[in-house]
Chains A and B, each alone.
Chain A
C-alpha cells in the first residue's frame, strides 16, 4: 500500500457531503459546448513535498505517482488517466505496441516496443528500447538505491539474484532485439502487466542514472508529455539537478519537445506548463483557490468551511468533486482472540455496526460509500456492487440479526443474543487518535453494547496503531481504524498482504486478523486457539490467472468468501477523494491509478489567459 496523503489528511468530521450522489464526479457544467483549449499554466498547490525527490524507483506515494502517470513517465502498458467508470482500470499499450504476449505456461511475457519514441532532453537522441526497461528494473533491484517496492518484481527470474550481487544481469529480462523485451517469471502472476505500469518500471536512458543511486529523481529523464523545467538546457548526462524541481519549494513542468502525441493516445496534455507550489496549508490553499490565485490543491482535503460554501452555492457547486478511489476502511477482528475466534460473533459484529452512521461521522457520501464487502467495486469489476451479505435498513445496522448470530455463538450460553462470557468485557481495541476514528469508536462501542460486547479502546498515533494491530503478540482483538488502498488496478493487492499467512506480523504486514495463521505462529504468540481458517489457496488461485473476466470473477468469489465465510473484517466504507477546483479549470478528471487529479486531460478556460 503506497502512501496516500489525502487519506492521512484528516478528512473526517470536518467534511461535508454532497447531497446528491448523482452529480458527483460529473464534469463541470461549463464544459458543455466548450472546446478544449491548449495552452496555459496550471497553478497547483501542495501541502508537503513528494516523498523521495521524484526518484521513480523509490517514490511510493500517490501524489508523485500522479505526476508520473499523467506527465513525466510513460511505461510499456498503462491504464488511461481517468476514473474506473471510464476505463481507468483497463490496461492499454503505452510504449508497447500492444498488450504483452503471454506464453502458454503464463511464465513468459513478450512486449514489443513502439518505434521512434525518444526520451526527453537531454537524452532526446536516445530511443526508448528494451534495454531502457532493463535499466529501470536493475535499478529497482539494486539495494543501494533503496527501492520502494522491489517485492513486486521478485517474481522476475533472476531479479533477487541480481539484487544480491550474484549475477551481472537479471536473467529473466532479455532484450531479444531493440524493440522486443522478453520477461520470464518464476511462477505465474496474471497481474504482472500491471506491475510493469508502476513508475519503477518506466524506462531509464543508458547511463542517465549512473552515479545517482540516491538522487536520480533530481535528474529524472522524462518520457511523458512534460519534463522538469531546465532539462533542455542540460547536457547528457546532466551535471546539475534540473531547476524544475526545488525540493520543499516548487515543481515546474514544461512541455517535453520529444513527446509525440501520435505515439501517445492516452494523454491529451492540453497545458503548456504546470507549476506546483510546495508548503501551503490546506486553509491557505483553499483561500487561494477561492480567490483564483491557484487552480487546485493536489494533496490536501478541502477544509469544512470551503466545502460548505461550494456545496451551498449553486454557481460553485460544480467546482466540488468527489471520486471513488480504491480503498476500504474497515474494522479488523483478530480471529484467534476470543470472542472473535467464533465466526458467529464476527458475523454478529458485521450485522451490528452502523456503517452509514460511521460514514456520516467521516463526512457522509462525499467522503465515501458504505462498504458491504471487503474489496472495492472497481477491483472486482463492479460484480459485487449489489452484494450485501449483512443487510440492514439504510446500512445502519440490524441488531436483531446480530443478536440472532450471537445467540448461536458459544459465548452466549443462554442463547439470548447477548454474550455472557467474561471475554466479551473490555475487549482490547485500538484506534487512530486522529479524526474521525475516536468519534467512530464511540459509535462502534454503542453498536456493540446490545451484543454484550464492551470495548476498552486505546487511541494511538497512526503508525503506533498499525504496529499494535500488526503485532500478534499484542493480542489486540479489534483494530478499529484500519484502512487499505490499492497500488494498481488488480485485486491482488487486496489478497495476500491482507489475508495471507505470510503477511502476519510483526515482521511482515498487514494481516492483522491473523487469517490463516499456522498453529506454530498461534502458539508462539500465546493464543489458545490452535486453528484458524485460511484463504491462502484461494488468493493464490486468483493470482495465477491471466488478466480477464475469469480473474475478476475469481477475485469477486474471493471477496465473498472473505466477507461471508471467514469474516475477519467489518468493511465500513469505500474511500472517496474530494477536490475543489478553481473556476477556470476545465476537463477535470480523476486518475484511478494514482488517486490524483488527471492533469493530462485538464485544460484552462481561455487557454489560461483569464
Chain B
C-alpha cells in the first residue's frame, strides 16, 4: 500500500485564528491539503504561478492575437516606419510599443513570439531530462549494484563535461548542413536545441531520484508489497514513483528556468534557433555590440521578459519545495 495513495490523515491542531479561544477541535487534513495550505501562504510563489500562466497564455494565444492588434507580423520588416532616416531603429512609440530592432521589425511582437521559443525549448528539454533522469534514477536506486555503478558513473561523466562548449559544438555541427545530423533525424532549429539541452540536464534529476529511491526501497511498505508478490515494475511504478514525485516536481521547476537561460545562452552565442525565429537570447545578442547604447529598448525588453520568466519559475520552485517538504520551517 503506497503512502500517498492511501492519503493517511494527519491530525493537526487548528491555529489560533479559529475562533480566538483555545480550540479543542481537531481537523483532519490530507498531505495534498496541507501542501496547498502551505503553498498558498507563499505569496511570491503564487505570483510566480500567475506570471507563468500569463506567459503561457501570451505565448500561445496572446502572440498571434496581439500581433493582429498591432498589425505587425513577427518577421515583417518596416524599413520606412521603423528605421529612422539614418538607419537606426526607432524607440517605443504608439505603433511600436517596445520599439523596433535593427532590421525594422516590431520588438513587441518578437518578444511575444520569443516567449514561445523560450517556453517550448524549456518544456521539451525539461521533458527529455525528466524522462531520462527519472528512469535512470529509479533503475539505479532500485537495482543498486552494477546498474547503480554504471548509472552513477554516467551521471558523473555527463556532469563533468564542459556543457556549454559541448552543446555549442553539437548544435553547430548539426546546424552545418540543412539535413542536420544522424541522417536527418536531428534537424537544425528549436528541437535540436531542446534535445541538446535535455541531454545535459537529466543528471540532476537522476541523482535526486536515485537517492530517494535508495532509502525508499528499504521501507516497510515496499517489503509489504514484495511480500504480497508484487513484481519489480509494479513496485517501481506504483509504490516508489508516487513517493518521489514531490522532489521531481520541485527539481523540474528549478530546471526549467535554467534551461530557458541555456537556450538564451546558445542563441546569444549565435547558434540555436533558425534565422528569423524570435528568441530572447538572440534578441539580446542582437542588442549587443554597442547598439544598445543608441537603442536601449533592444536590450531592455527581451532582457526583462527573460528575467521575469526565470524568476517566476524559480519562485514557484522554491515555494513548491517549502510546501512539499514538511521539514522546512516557515
* CB neighbors of B among A406-448 (8 A): 428, 431, 433, 435-436, 438-443, 445-446
How many angstroms from the CA of A442 to the CA of B73 in the assembled complex?
12
Structural contact, B294 and A304, CB atoms closer than 8 A: yes
In the complex, the chain A residue whose C-beta lies closest to that of B276 is: A442
Task: Classify the secondary structure of A's interface with B.
Answer: helix
A354 to chain B: which residues have CB within 8 Å?
79
A297 → chain B, closest Cβ, in Å? 15
Partner among B85, B101, B275 whose Cβ is within 8 Å of the Cβ of A458: B275
Counting CB contacts under 8 A, is A10 at the interface? yes
A257 → chain B, closest Cβ, in Å? 44
Interface stretch (choices A35-43, A124-132, A361-369): A361-369
How many angstroms from the CA of A10 to the CA of B102 in the assembled complex?
13
Structural contact, B75 and A442, CB atoms closer than 8 A: yes
User: Which of B86, B101, B188 is most buried by chain A, counting CB atoms within 10 A of its CB?
Assistant: B86
Given contacts A10-B289, A354-B79, contact A361 B102 (CB under 8 A): yes
Structural contact, A439 and B103, CB atoms closer than 8 A: yes
Structural contact, B178 and A446, CB atoms closer than 8 A: no
Q: Could you give, for residues 235-270 of chain B, a 1 whenever the CB lies within 8 Å of some chain A CB and a 0 otherwise?
A: 000000000000000000000000000000000001
Counting CB contacts under 8 A, is B99 at the interface? no
Counting CB contacts under 8 A, is B315 at the interface? no
Structural contact, A364 and B86, CB atoms closer than 8 A: yes
Counting CB contacts under 8 A, is A17 at the interface? yes
B293 to chain A: which residues have CB within 8 Å?
304-305
B101 → chain A, closest Cβ, in Å? 8
Q: Could you give, for residues 63-103 of chain B, a 1 whenever the CB lies within 8 Å of some chain A CB and a 0 otherwise?
A: 00000000000011101100101111100000000000111
B181 → chain A, closest Cβ, in Å? 15
How many angstroms from the CA of A456 to the CA of B101 in the assembled complex?
21
How many angstroms from the CA of A354 to the CA of B76 in the assembled complex?
13
Structural contact, B178 and A311, CB atoms closer than 8 A: no
How many angstroms from the CA of A16 to the CA of B85 in the assembled complex?
8
Q: Could you give, for residues 210-244 of chain A, a 1 whenever the CB lies within 8 Å of some chain B CB and a 0 otherwise?
A: 00000000000000000000000000000000000
How many angstroms from the CA of A283 to the CA of B83 in the assembled complex?
23
A303 to chain B: which residues have CB within 8 Å?
290
Structural contact, A17 and B87, CB atoms closer than 8 A: yes
- Residues of A that sit less than 8 Å from B by CB: 10, 12-17, 19, 283, 303-305, 308, 311, 354, 356-357, 360-364, 366-367, 396, 428, 431, 433, 435-436, 438-443, 445-446, 456-459
Instruction: Jot down 25 A-B pairs with beta carbons below 8 A, ordered by A.
Output: A10-B289, A14-B102, A16-B86, A17-B86, A19-B85, A19-B86, A304-B293, A304-B294, A305-B290, A308-B88, A357-B104, A361-B79, A363-B86, A396-B79, A431-B275, A435-B102, A435-B289, A438-B103, A438-B275, A440-B103, A442-B75, A442-B105, A443-B79, A456-B178, A458-B175
Beyond contacts A360-B83, A443-B104: 13 other A-B pairs, Cβ-Cβ < 8 A, are A14-B289, A283-B290, A304-B290, A304-B293, A305-B293, A357-B80, A360-B104, A364-B85, A364-B86, A436-B102, A439-B101, A439-B102, A443-B103
- Residues of B that sit less than 8 Å from A by CB: 75-77, 79-80, 83, 85-89, 101-105, 175, 178, 188, 270, 274-276, 289-291, 293-294
Q: Which 5 pairs, one residue from A and one from B, show the smallest C-beta to C-beta distance?
A: A439-B103, A357-B79, A13-B102, A16-B86, A364-B87
